[in-house]
C-alpha cells in the first residue's frame, strides 16, 4: 500500500480557515468590482436560452442575458443583505444581551421577556407576511431579517456577560474607579468577542439563506438581482422544464460555498485550542 504524502501546506490548511478566507475574498471582490471580472455588461442581450459555449460559459437566460455576468452582479445584493442584516442583528443582540446581563434585576426580566416573545415568533411566515404587505425592497428585507435574528445572540451574550461581570477583574476595574460604561467597553466586549464573531457569521449565513428563500417565493425587490432571484427566475421562466442546469445550479452552488466559507471563518476561535475559562 502506498502512503499518500499530503504536503505540509495542505495539512496546515485543514486547521486554518485560509482557504475559506480566499473563497470569501473572491466573492467580496466580485461584489465590489463586478465590472473587472464579468465577461459582458449586464445590459447586453444575446439570443435567449443559449446553451453553454465558448462565448457564454454558463449560457444565456430567457431574456438573452449572459448568466455568468448575472451571477457575478448578483453577488453584491446577496452579500449586502447578509452582511447588513448580520450587523443589525449583532448590534441589537449585543446591546440587549449586555444590558440585561450587566444590570440584571427588572431590566433583565423585561428584556428577556421581549427576547422570549421574539424567539417564539415563526420567522419565515412572519417575514413573508411583512414582505408581502410592505413594498418589497432590499432595505425592508434587511431590517426584517435583522429584527428577527438577534434573540439567540442576546441570550448567549447575556450568559457570558453575567459570567464576566462577577469576575475579579471587573470588580477590580470598579475599584479603580471605572464607570459601568467603560467596564462594558474595555472589559466585557473584548472578552466576549470570540463568542460574538461566530454568532455574527452564522447570522450572515442564515440571512443569506432566508433572502434566497424569500426571493424564490417572489418577495424580494424585483429590481435587485440576487442569487435567490436568479433561481426563482429560472423556475418561473422555464429553466427547470428545459433542464437548463447551468441557469439554476451555479447560483445555488455559489450560495452554498459562500455560506460554508462564512460559517468556517466564524469558527476561527474553535480550532484545537483548550476551552478558555474566565472565572
Partner 1 sequence: MNSPYPILDISNLSITFLSDGIKIPAVSSFSCRIMQGTCTAIIGESGCGKSVVAHAILRLLPKNSQVEGTIIFKNQNIYRLDERLLQSIRGKEIGIMFQSPDRALNPIYRLYKQMFQPLDTHKVVPVQEREAHIHKALIKAGFSNPELAARLYPCHCSGGMNQRAVTAIILSLEPDLVIADEPTKGLDRSKILDIQASLQEVLHEKRTLLLITHDIRLAHTMAHHIVVMYAGEIVEAGPANAILSSPSHPYTRGLIQSLPENGFNPIPGCAPPLTNLPEGCRFADRCYQVTKLCHKRPAKLTQVNGRMIRCHRY
List residues binding partner 1 (CB under 8 A).
105, 167-169, 171-179, 182, 186-187, 190-191, 278-279
**Cβ proximity to partner 1, 137 vs 163, nearer residue:** 163
**Cβ proximity to partner 1, 45 vs 186, nearer residue:** 186
**DSSP characters over the chain:** -PPP---HHHHHHHHSTHHHHHHHHHHHHHHH-HHHH-SS-TT----TTPPP-SS-TT-B-TT--BHHHHHHHHHHHHHHHHHHHHHHHHHHHHHHHHHHHHH-HHHHHHHHHHHHHHHHS-HHHHHHHHHHHSPP-HHHHHHHHHHTS-HHHHHHHHHHHHHHHTSHHHHHHHHTT--HHHHIIIIIHHHHHHHHHHHHHHHHHHHHHHHHHHHHTT-S-TTS--HHHHHHHHHHTTTTTTT-HHHHHHHHHHHHHHHHHHHHHHTGGGSSPPPP---
* Shortest distance, position 192 Cβ to partner 1, whole Å: 10
**Cβ proximity to partner 1, 4 vs 175, nearer residue:** 175
* Shortest distance, position 44 Cβ to partner 1, whole Å: 53
* Shortest distance, position 99 Cβ to partner 1, whole Å: 17
* Shortest distance, position 110 Cβ to partner 1, whole Å: 17
* Shortest distance, position 107 Cβ to partner 1, whole Å: 13
**Cβ proximity to partner 1, 110 vs 185, nearer residue:** 185
**Cβ proximity to partner 1, 243 vs 279, nearer residue:** 279
**Cβ proximity to partner 1, 120 vs 175, nearer residue:** 175
* Shortest distance, position 272 Cβ to partner 1, whole Å: 18
Amino acid at each position: 500500500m502506498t502512503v499518500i504524502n499530503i504536503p505540509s501546506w495542505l495539512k496546515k490548511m485543514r486547521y486554518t480557515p485560509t482557504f475559506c478566507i480566499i473563497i470569501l475574498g473572491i466573492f467580496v471582490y466580485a461584489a465590489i468590482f463586478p465590472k473587472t471580472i464579468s465577461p459582458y455588461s449586464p445590459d447586453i442581450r444575446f439570443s435567449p436560452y443559449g446553451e453553454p459555449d465558448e462565448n457564454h460559459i454558463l449560457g444565456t437566460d430567457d431574456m438573452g442575458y449572459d448568466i455568468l455576468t448575472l451571477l457575478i452582479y448578483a453577488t453584491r445584493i446577496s452579500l449586502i443583505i447578509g452582511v447588513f442584516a448580520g450587523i443589525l442583528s449583532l448590534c441589537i443582540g449585543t446591546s440587549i444581551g449586555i444590558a440585561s446581563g450587566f444590570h440584571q434585576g427588572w431590566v433583565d426580566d423585561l428584556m428577556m421577556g421581549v427576547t422570549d416573545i421574539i424567539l417564539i415568533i415563526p420567522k419565515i411566515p412572519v417575514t413573508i407576511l411583512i414582505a408581502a404587505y410592505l413594498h418589497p425592497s432590499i432595505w425592508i428585507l434587511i431590517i426584517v431579517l435583522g429584527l428577527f435574528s438577534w434573540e439567540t445572540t442576546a441570550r448567549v451574550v447575556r450568559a457570558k456577560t453575567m459570567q464576566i461581570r462577577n469576575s475579579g477583574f471587573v470588580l477590580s476595574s470598579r475599584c479603580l474607579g471605572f464607570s459601568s460604561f467603560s467596564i462594558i467597553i474595555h472589559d466585557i466586549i473584548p472578552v466576549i468577542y470570540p463568542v460574538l464573531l461566530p454568532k455574527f457569521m452564522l447570522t450572515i449565513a442564515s440571512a443569506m439563506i432566508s433572502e434566497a428563500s424569500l426571493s424564490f417565493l417572489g418577495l424580494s425587490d424585483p429590481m435587485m438581482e440576487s442569487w435567490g432571484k436568479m433561481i426563482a427566475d429560472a423556475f418561473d421562466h422555464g429553466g427547470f422544464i428545459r433542464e437548463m442546469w447551468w441557469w439554476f445550479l451555479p447560483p445555488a452552488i455559489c450560495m452554498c460555498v459562500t455560506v460554508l466559507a462564512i460559517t468556517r471563518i466564524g469558527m476561527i476561535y474553535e480550532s484545537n485550542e483548550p476551552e478558555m475559562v474566565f472565572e
